Structure 1
Amino acid sequence: MHGDNALAKTNRVNMLFDFYGPLLTEKQQTFLKYYFHDDYSLGEIAADAGVSRQAVYEHLKRAEQVLESYERKLGLVSRHDRLQEGLDRLEREIGGLPDEWRRMLAETAALLRGSEEEGNERE
């Protein structure tokens, strides 16, 4: 993986992992964390785990497939993205309102954004 595609894939897997990681096996979680969070190479993970690089690759590939499968079924990442886009739009619109309305609506938007972030931490 190189360039923008690698970054996009890493961001995607990390986001999926944030939502669905606890549903993976312990080995899948560990390998994904090492590879995508800690930037270990396949060889480094293989050496730590006492398995072949091919085995690590297969575990990573399978874990990514499982994460994508959960997303297709549950759509939590898509929902999160839509909520964030809606909150961003709402905050931009609030900025154009008269001062007397702005504060209360901005607080409400912040409350919604905070509850969305708290939900991610619980998952």
Structure 2
Amino acid sequence: MEDKIKSGYLYDFYGELLTEHQRSVYEMSINDDLSLSEIADSLSISRQAVHDMLKRCDRQLEEYEEKLHLVEKFMNVKADVLRINELTSQAPSKETLAEISQLSTSILEEL
């Protein structure tokens, strides 16, 4: 998964666990796509402080994911739902229905 996309997912799932200041800096970087200099200027802090905070936030968010696996579970469920959508667009057969049943069971177990 591309780093920016992965960071976005991690932030979506765990961002509320960061402090308000960390969230502000992280949102400027990930959502607004601002450079370190732009963030530093807008908050009147150094580029190094912004860099350090972003690294610290990334590390925290990764640690949450390592423990909780919410993004991983979400991605698995999303893949299963996409596959079910593909299967339902085809003419139904016993094999198709069996795969849909297996996928839906997998989704329920994931939840």
Q: How does 1:96-107 map to 2 (within 5 A)?
A: 96-98=90-92
Q: 1:22 aligns with which of 9, 12, 16?
A: 16
- Residue 50 of structure 1: how far off its partner (Å): 1.4
State the distance in 1 between where 2:40 and 2:83 align. Answer: 45
1:85 is aligned to: 79
2:62 is aligned to: 68
TM-score (norm 1): 0.71
Structure 1 spans left out of the alignment, 5+ residues: 1-6, 113-123
Q: What fraction of aligned residue pairs are identical, expressed as a percent?
A: 36
Q: 2:26 aligns with which of 26, 29, 32?
A: 32
**What is the RMSD computed on CA atoms of the aligned residues?**
2.1
Tell me the amino acid that sits aligned with residue 33 of structure 2: D
- Residue 73 of structure 1: how far off its partner (Å): 0.5
State the distance in 1 between where 2:52 and 2:83 align. Answer: 41
Structure 2 spans left out of the alignment, 5+ residues: none
- Larger helix proportion of the pair: 1
State the distance in 1 between where 2:39 and 2:11 align. Answer: 18
Cα displacement string for residues 5-41 of structure 1 (whole angstroms, at most 9, x for unaligned residues): xx91111101110110000111111111101110111
- Residue 97 of structure 1: how far off its partner (Å): 3.4
TM-score (norm 2): 0.79
Tell me the amino acid that sits aligned with residue 36 of structure 2: L
